[in-house]
Amino acid sequence: MADTDTPVFQIQRIYLKEASLEQPNSPAILLEQEQPSVDIQLGVDAQPAADGVFEVRVTATVTTKIQDKTVFLVECKQAGIFEIRNLPEDQMGPILGIACPQIIYPYLRGNVADVIQRGGFPPVHLAEINFQAMYEQQQAQQADDAPRIIT
């Protein structure tokens, strides 16, 4: 008989959920000699997919500009399906917000670099991310944004 209280954490699948590349000012912007500025935004979210199964997504948006004109904009959303059962509720947030994104992120980094390179640009390599610090910052932000009752 299987122990039904044994904690379960299994990766079911890692996949590229969405990828887009826009070059709205091509070809003229490609003739510019100036170095573009690069802005990178990351996001993490998770939601239940089934009982004890969660989809976790890590999104990267890379925008490069020369002055106020976009050279290219890449958005990639890497996702994973994880089976997570029999864990205390207070551990679910860190698992979904730290452990799962750490597993997904290397795939996202490779896909972002690949999409950019296939667009004809030198690849942009995303830096390593401390998902624990990111998670703690999001938790602090949510606590600050929580409505307060003033009496």
Q: What are phi and psi of 140, to 5 degrees?
A: -65, -40
CATH topology for 8-135 is Bacterial Protein-export protein SecB (3.10.420)
More confident residue, 18 or 122: 18
The whole-angstrom separation of Cα 101 and Cα 55 is 11
HEC assignment per residue over 82-107: EEEECCCHHHHHHHHHHHHHHHHHHH
Give residue 101's identity as a one-letter amino acid code: P
The whole-angstrom separation of Cα 22 and Cα 28 is 14
Q: Is residue 2 predicted with pLDDT exceeding 60?
A: no
Query: What secondary structure letter does DSSP report for 7?
Result: -
Q: Is residue 151 predicted with pLDDT exceeding 60?
A: no
Domain ranges of the chain: 8-135
The pTM assigned to this predicted structure is 0.86
Q: Which residue is associated with the tokens 């207070």? A: 90
Model confidence pLDDT, tens digit, residues 23-40: 999 999 889 889 999 999
- In 3D space, the residue among 131, 126, 130 whose CA is nearest the CA of residue 62 turns out to be 126
Model confidence pLDDT, tens digit, residues 66-116: 999 999 999 999 999 999 999 999 999 999 999 999 999 999 999 999 999
More confident residue, 104 or 140: 104
